[in-house]
Structure 1
Amino acid sequence: MEITSPCPKSAVHPINYPFNSRNISNTIATSKKPAFRIHLSSQKPNRKTLQLTRPLEKKNKTTTPTCTSSDILRLIDALGFPVPMDVYASLVKECTVSRDPDLAIELHTHIERSGIRPRLSLLNRILLMYVSCGCMEHARQVFDEMSIKDLHSWAAMIAGYAHNSGYEEAVELFVEMQYHYYHDIDDMLKFPMSWILVCILQACVHTENIALGSQIHGWLIKAGSSRDVFLSSSLINFYGKNGCLEGADFVFNQVSRRNTVIWTARIVNNCREERFGDVIDIYKEMGREGARKNSFTVSSVLKACRKIEDGGHCGRQVHADAIKLGLVSKNYVQSVLVGMYGRFGLVTDARRMFEINADGRNAACWSSMLAGYIRNGFSIEAIKILYEMNVAGLKPQESLLNEIAEELRCLSEPTAVRNSVSWATKV
């Protein structure tokens, strides 16, 4: 509301001024030119209001820092200050997280030029920094120059080699560590990073070193740690990939509390050795014991069902179980179901599974549907799938394209055959 008026004259007796609302209203009504004109504005007056400002939100920890370790080192060098050991440790930790090999090499060079003698803890941090950056040659040089090594030092190098596919070097370091430093396996099991043994078992799989893996298993039995779930799953995987199902079953029977990983590892081992009937029996036993099943478990069993010549009967039962567990829409389960139904000529069921998760289809699902159409003589539908894959930016396997071309040459429409074969060849 706006009030516009000339300034009124001040009263002679402001204190004893009589206030009467009735007299004021009568005066305003009878006066031709009232002293006050009241206008009701239709617009909101433009007043400045105070706004409460929110405090600045903290930035995420994953944001890129404004300065790097090299910037900090240049600043300290310019000021002429000596770098404390804890500052070096913080900078090494920063390089470990960033995984920048150039910064790691520059920081280590600065530490060497400073003339300080790093403690064992800082040397272990430098090892871990190089390992995380993938600089295994620099890490090995630091490791060889260390006069004193603890289990952290050996663990960092062994894990680094195993992670960077240096399986032979990982095995050699482990054998050297056992021969010179840690003769008793109890020392390693007391160490909170017993995952060193897991890395070595993985290296034994890739190097086919069955003797060393069996020795590790014997050490674990001797130390009473063969029932550890984490180590047992690695042992089952080790024996299974080396084709020794008796050893894998022995480890499996020694574990009292079997989780999903252990059950699935046993299923995968039997599926790899083409013991598909045993896969179904293990899956049923897993259900009777109430073990939790995940998408990898179900997809592994479905791969075995695809190899059993029963017209898809076992596969339908596992499919029903996957529906109860809510795993049908998972990528691995969906693609294997499409392939299984296509394998037995149940193209309608395969297409129904293909349409369940239209947005989440992976390349394997598309290829399974394409293979199902080709192997059951649905060449036109296979061409449609090819067009859809082309739109989605996916490239089918060359073997499937060759099968489509052979199917199309058997059709009775020469023009369609010529165009389709030409397009399939271009794709």
Structure 2
Amino acid sequence: MSHRNTDTWQFMITGLMDLGMNEETLDLYIRMHQEMVRMKPNTAIQGGVLRACAFIEDVGLGKQIHAKAIKSGSSKDTYLGCCLVDFYVEMKCLVSARKAFDEICKPNVVAWTAMIVGCAREGEFHGVLEVFREMERVGKRGNCYTYSCLLGASGKMGHVWMGKQVQARVIKVGVEKDVYVGSSIVGMYGKCGFVEDARLVFDGMREKNAVSWNAMLCGYAKNGCCDEAIKLLYEMRCKGLEPPQVMVNEVAIACGA
């Protein structure tokens, strides 16, 4: 082609990225800058390249893209900001992820959830709590994935009071019937030692999947409720569900078998 514009480069970069050709994507991005020094890449190109950077763990190029975004002002863009947060979370750079988050003018639920997931992955559970409280202060509503992550973090911390706050929020926004959210509530109560509350939520679920059953079974095993665990295993098999072997082993260990 004798002439290439931003759209041309975007189509080619996006095509390579969709094919999973991450190294080729990055090579083309670098070539684009070499050939079109004054061109300002759009957020779609930058976001796609950041995903490729995360895949091959190229932190250096990702930071270069971030620096260019700050210089051009595009780091304030919600879409690109979310891509930057996701990139730094994948690279386990929580401080940089938070900086990228703070640069976003209007962070959406994707950005908030990315920060929560990042903190939870790195075991920064107090960071999870801080992000959740901040999200609540600004009146931002999460989605099912957001609340499932928050409930999982509550269970790992053993903070049932936080889990109950999240559960109350879940009920308020009307997503308590979601099977994954319900399973996360069951898991949270089980990990915090409130097995009866876990069973109450479990029995109230209209729809259950393998995650739901395993969450309840794990709660019984963790808290030494051998008889209840064995009964639940039997109930699962009666319904045609086969628990994972690792879960059966946990029940056996808990019961001293």
Residue 334 (1) aligns with residue 178 (2)? no
Partner of 1:42: none
Partner of 2:17: 162
Q: Which amino acid aligns with 1:225?
A: S
Partners of 2:14 and 2:133 in 1: CA distance? 37
Residue 402 (1) aligns with residue 256 (2)? no
Task: Provide the aligned C-alpha RMSD in A.
Answer: 2.2
* SS of the residue 2:212 aligns to: helix
Percent identical residues: 39
Conservation of the 8 A alpha-carbon contact between 1:329 and 1:356: no
Superposed CA deviations along residues 317-348 of structure 1, whole A, max 9, x for unmatched, are: 22122222222221221111111111122111
Conservation of the 8 A alpha-carbon contact between 2:47 and 2:80: yes
Partners of 1:185 and 1:213 in 2: CA distance? 18
Q: Please report the TM-score for the alignment, with normalisation by the length of structure 2.
A: 0.90
Superposed CA deviations along residues 246-295 of structure 1, whole A, max 9, x for unmatched, are: 22222222222222222222221211221111211221111111112221
Q: Please report the TM-score for the alignment, with normalisation by the length of structure 1.
A: 0.56
Partners of 1:153 and 1:356 in 2: CA distance? 54
Residue 371 (1) aligns with residue 212 (2)? no
Q: Which amino acid aligns with 1:403?
A: E
Residue 172 (1) aligns with residue 21 (2)? no
Partners of 1:405 and 1:271 in 2: CA distance? 29
Residue 286 (1) aligns with residue 135 (2)? yes
Distance change >3 Å, CA 159–CA 393, structure 1 → 2: farther
Distance change >3 Å, CA 374–CA 217, structure 1 → 2: same
Partners of 2:39 and 2:185 in 1: CA distance? 45
Distance change >3 Å, CA 250–CA 185, structure 1 → 2: farther
Residue 183 (1) aligns with residue 37 (2)? yes
| Residues 193-212 of structure 1 aligned to structure 2 (within 5 Å) | 194-212=43-61
Partners of 2:16 and 2:99 in 1: CA distance? 30
| Residues 97-112 of structure 1 aligned to structure 2 (within 5 Å) | none
Residue 227 (1) aligns with residue 76 (2)? yes
Residue 318 (1) aligns with residue 166 (2)? yes
Q: Which has the higher contact order (CA 8 A, sep 6+)?
A: 2
More helix by share: 2
**Distance apart, 1:216 and its partner CA:** 0.8
Conservation of the 8 A alpha-carbon contact between 2:170 and 2:176: yes
Superposed CA deviations along residues 334-386 of structure 1, whole A, max 9, x for unmatched, are: 11111111112211111111122232x22211111111122222333323333
| Residues 109-188 of structure 1 aligned to structure 2 (within 5 Å) | 150-180=5-35, 182-186=36-40, 188=41
**Distance apart, 1:185 and its partner CA:** 4.5
2:101 to 247, 252, 255: 252
| Residues 57-96 of structure 1 aligned to structure 2 (within 5 Å) | none
* SS of the residue 1:358 aligns to: coil
Task: State how many pairs are aligned.
Answer: 257
Structure 1 unmatched runs, 5+? 1-145, 411-427
Q: Which amino acid aligns with 2:77?
A: D
Q: Which amino acid aligns with 1:346?
A: F
Conservation of the 8 A alpha-carbon contact between 2:158 and 2:191: no
Partners of 1:212 and 1:245 in 2: CA distance? 17
